[in-house]
């Protein structure tokens, strides 16, 4: 009886924690910031919330913005794949309480011919 109660409490805490993290990770409003940035490196984080749970994959790209390196979370794999190290463009992102979230990247055309 006690084991079942403890398991139920643990499951409730896991579910509440999941929804809390999801709420905290949403953009804090509709304000986006755009800056000229260069792609410096790409990183993939894979993790599990608890043992035997589905694996979670998150994509991050490090951009250099005005001389400072900033990690931006890229929620969509197709956006992550189209970003190439060394490219310069206009990066648009949103901030939330946990991280900066990728919105768009428009590559600046090479003017050298």
> Could you tell me the pTM of the whole model?
0.68
Q: What is the pLDDT of residues 42-99, one digit of tens each?
A: 999 999 988 889 999 999 999 999 999 999 999 999 999 999 999 999 999 998 777 7
* Topology of domain 2-107, CATH: OB fold (Dihydrolipoamide Acetyltransferase, E2P) (2.40.50)
Q: Residue 104 CA to chain centroid, in angstroms?
A: 13
User: Is-contact 57 46, C-beta < 8 A?
Assistant: yes
Nearest to 59 by CA among 37, 83, 35: 83
**Six-digit token string for 69:** 């390196």
């Amino acid at each position: 009886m006690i084991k079942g109660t403890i398991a139920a409490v643990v499951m409730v805490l896991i579910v509440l924690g999941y929804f809390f993290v999801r709420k905290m990770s949403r953009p804090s409003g509709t304000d986006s910031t755009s800056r000229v940035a260069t792609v410096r490196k790409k990183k993939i984080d894979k993790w599990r919330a608890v043992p035997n749970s589905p694996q979670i994959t998150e994509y991050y790209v490090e951009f250099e913005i005005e001389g400072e390196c900033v990690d931006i979370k890229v929620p969509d794999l197709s956006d992550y794949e189209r970003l190439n190290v060394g490219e310069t463009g206009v990066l648009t992102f949103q901030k939330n309480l946990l991280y900066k979230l990728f919105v768009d990247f428009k590559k600046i055309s090479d003017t050298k011919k």
